[in-house]
Amino acid sequence: MTDIEMARLPGGSVTLHDARRETHRTMNLEPFAIGVYAVTQEQFAEVLGIMGEHPRRPASDLSWLRAIRFCNAVSEWEGLDRAYSFDGEDVTWDLDSDGYRLPTEAEWEYACRAGSNAPHYGPLTEIAWTAADGTTSPQNVGGKLPNLNGLFDTLGNVWEWCWDVLDPAQYDGYRVFRGGGYADDAWSVRASVRRGGAPRMHHDDVGMRLARTVTPLSTRC
């Protein structure tokens, strides 16, 4: 399988802002690893046999449930423990697993910001594919500048699924996606913006980025 490049990040803290509910919460994080790039069509094809026309573009138009199943499939491919188990469509995360998983919302924002408190970690024209570029589809990963964690396209190109529930009181079962997409303007392509969808929902501007829990056995992160 095409290598999945991972960046290992130290523990830290990040403050999440929910504009809809007008709330702030600070989350403390343990060290973790996260993909340098979004999962590509090539990687998706190799693992699940779902072919894409553009190998270096992000895998998109995939639901949260498919993203979860991809995480388990990659873990099996590499001989790691599955992070997720299923009871129908109810998903349980094994916190002790060394396998691939979706980042938590806090991990995603911490990784995206790379120490910045600004809405963007650099000028959008240099770091993100957005509506300003006039593109009509996702672009090859790594085509813009990375953030200080060495991660590409955390803003723009495609939104990225996270593990977390969006708002249980208002959206039953919806899961969070972050980062903005190729057709979004600067207001949506910000480190703090939260959106989400039902676990079976899929759109051509929503993809995924892998994460792993760092343990003494996670030597390949």
Domain count, the chain: 1
Domain presence at residue 218: no
**Can you tell me the distance from the alpha carbon of 19 to that of 86, in angstroms, rounded to the nearest whole number?**
32
Q: What is the tens place of the pLDDT at every residue in 121-141?
A: 999 999 999 999 999 999 999
Averaged over 151-158, what is the pLDDT?
Answer: 98
Answer whether residue 220 shows pLDDT above 80: no
Domain presence at residue 219: no
For residue 171, list its beta bridge partners: 167
Answer whether residue 89 shows pLDDT above 60: yes
Place of tokens 């190799």: 46
Pairwise pLDDT comparison (21 vs 105), residue with the higher score: 105
State the pLDDT at residue 221: 52
| Predicted confidence band of residue 216 (pLDDT cuts 50, 70, 90) | low
Domain presence at residue 221: no
* Cα separations in angstroms, 221 against 32, 135, 194: 9, 33, 27
Range of the domain at 133: 6-213
Query: Which CATH number do you get for residue 65?
Result: 3.90.1580.10
- Structure token digits, residue 9: 């990040």
State the pLDDT at residue 18: 76
Domain presence at residue 56: yes
Domain presence at residue 181: yes
Answer whether residue 205 shows pLDDT above 90: yes
Average model confidence (pLDDT) for the chain?
Answer: 93
Domain presence at residue 194: yes
Q: What is the tens place of the pLDDT at every residue in 66-76?
A: 999 999 999 99
Find the range with the poorest average confidence among 2-6, 29-33, 109-113, 161-165: 2-6
Domain presence at residue 1: no
Domain presence at residue 12: yes
- Structure token digits, residue 51: 């072919």
State the pLDDT at residue 219: 47
Strand 206-207 and strand 159-167: the pairing is parallel
